[in-house]
Amino acid sequence: MIWHVQNENFILDSTRIFMKAFHLLLFDGSLIFQNLFGKFPNEQFQRNLSISYLLCSTLCIPLSVEYIECTEMAITEFLLFILTATIGGMFLCGANDLITIFVAPECFSLCSYLLSGYTKKDVRSNEATMKYLLMGGASSSILVHGFSWLYGSSGGEIELQEIVNGLINTQMYNSPGISIALIFITVGIGFKLSPALLINGLLTYTKECERSEESSFDSNSPTPVVAFLSVTSKVAASASATRIFDIPFYFSSNEWHLLLEILAILSMILGNLIAITQTSMKRMLAYSSIGQIGYVIIGIIVGDSNDGYASMITYMLFYISMNLGTFACIVLFGLRTGTENIRDYAGLYTKDPFWLSL
């Protein structure tokens, strides 16, 4: 027992040291990772988003330890997946070329698939993970297809600013190819924002309602995993959206503003409508996060790159703290009662008023 406690403390201390060291390497302008051959520019916007992403991961680790301990799952692999996903997300926040923008989210996505199916002995969880994997693969295919149109239209450039220069030199900035690239990239990023949750939510209105509930990603994945992915995926997708739309599609601002407005409206309406029909507290928060990303998209639309999208980042920080705090309460309640049904929260004030005040 003593060895178990010491081993757990060692893992947590190692995790904290690793994240601090990585933070210093990435953000300290005097070190070699200041720009990494121009792939990661040293900008305030990139720093703010990376700090937000690092904050998400740091808060999710203590949220997960007690849950994993009580469910007797391996903590070492779990933390490894969390850290690897964090590296991918932080690289994405500062990506400056198409290759990194594609590879970094794949690093995050692969760990997301492994985390969502961490309860591998549960058949329903494996089925939900397979659905998540197929949707993630589809979104990556759509995204890279849009990148190929952008790459060809710019004359073979991969860096974002060089793509703009290439479009000007080739006079292709108003061509149909750019419109096709914009549509595919918008759909691909839209999938990254929360495709599995939204599609599963729409399926609840079909004849396969019960089956969708049983095999959905957010129902059968561990609660800390749902908390981690519901927040970090929004930060990562928002980072890629701001960089791609603001630089390569500078000449198509009206078009991508319209596409993001449609995506924001659908996210806010459908996400909240589906959330109020849920009977599980975890599912309700997972679907409500789709509505929250609609507000983040509004920040991208009306934001200004000159001030580093300050309003969007401010809202995201509040969203991170509130969402992870609520998920922490759900984890504690689930470990104490063994249920996540909303009806079981009835009368909680008389049973445990202190816990309810949290």
- The number of beta carbons lying within 10 Å of the beta carbon of residue 256 is 21
Residue 337 has pLDDT above 70, yes or no: yes
The pLDDT tens digits of the residues spanning 31-43 come to: 444 555 555 665 6
Instruction: Give the mean pLDDT of the chain.
Output: 75
Q: Is 11 exposed, middle or buried (0-12, 13-18, 19+ CB in 10 A)?
A: middle
Helices (H) and strands (E) in the chain, counts: 16, 0
DSSP string, 214-273: HH-HHHHS-HHHHHHHHHHHHHHHHHHHHHHHHTTTGGGHHHHHHHHHHHHHHHHHHHHH
Say how far apart CA 63 and CA 66 lie, in whole Å.
7
Kindly report the CA angle at 10 between 7 and 15, in degrees rounded to 5?
A: 130
Predicted local distance difference test score (pLDDT) of residue 33: 47
Say how far apart CA 218 and CA 196 lie, in whole Å.
9
DSSP string, 78-113: HHHHHHHHHHHHHHHHT--BHHHHHHHHHHHHHHHH
The pLDDT tens digits of the residues spanning 244-269 come to: 888 888 888 888 888 888 888 888 88
Say how far apart CA 179 and CA 255 lie, in whole Å.
8
Q: What percent of the chain has pLDDT over 70?
A: 75
Biggest CA–CA distance in the chain, Å, is 70
Domain range spanning residue 307? 2-357
Say how far apart CA 121 and CA 102 lie, in whole Å.
32
SS (H, E, C) 299-334: HHHHCCHHHCCHHHHHHHHHHHHHHHHHHHHHHHHH
Amino acid identity for residue 253 in this structure: S
Kindly report the CA angle at 90 between 18 and 134, in degrees rounded to 5?
A: 110
Predicted local distance difference test score (pLDDT) of residue 267: 82
Q: What pTM does this model have?
A: 0.78
Predicted local distance difference test score (pLDDT) of residue 147: 92
Query: Which residues fall within 8 angstroms of residue 33, CB to CB, at 6 or more apart?
Result: 25, 26, 40
The pLDDT tens digits of the residues spanning 156-204 come to: 888 888 888 888 888 887 888 888 998 998 888 877 765 444 444 444 4
Nearest CA to 223 out of 351, 115, 75 is that of 115
Mean pLDDT of 306-335: 79
Q: What's the domain count of the chain?
A: 1
Query: Which residue reads 């759909």 in tokens?
Result: 187
Residue 219 has pLDDT above 70, yes or no: no
Say how far apart CA 217 and CA 212 lie, in whole Å.
9
Q: What percent of the chain has pLDDT over 90?
A: 2
Say how far apart CA 80 and CA 60 lie, in whole Å.
13
CA atoms in the 13 A half-sphere facing the CB of 37? 3
Q: Is 161 exposed, middle or buried (0-12, 13-18, 19+ CB in 10 A)?
A: middle
Say how far apart CA 26 and CA 296 lie, in whole Å.
25
Q: Are 357 and 96 in contact (CB under 8 A)?
A: no
Q: Tell me the two tokens of residue 238.
A: 């928002």
Identify the residue with better confidence: 117 or 166: 166
Predicted local distance difference test score (pLDDT) of residue 113: 83
Reported as a pLDDT band with limits 50, 70 and 90, residue 138 is confident
Kindly report the CA angle at 49 between 46 and 52, in degrees rounded to 5?
A: 150
Mean pLDDT of 99-106: 86
Q: Tell me the two tokens of residue 152.
A: 């060809």
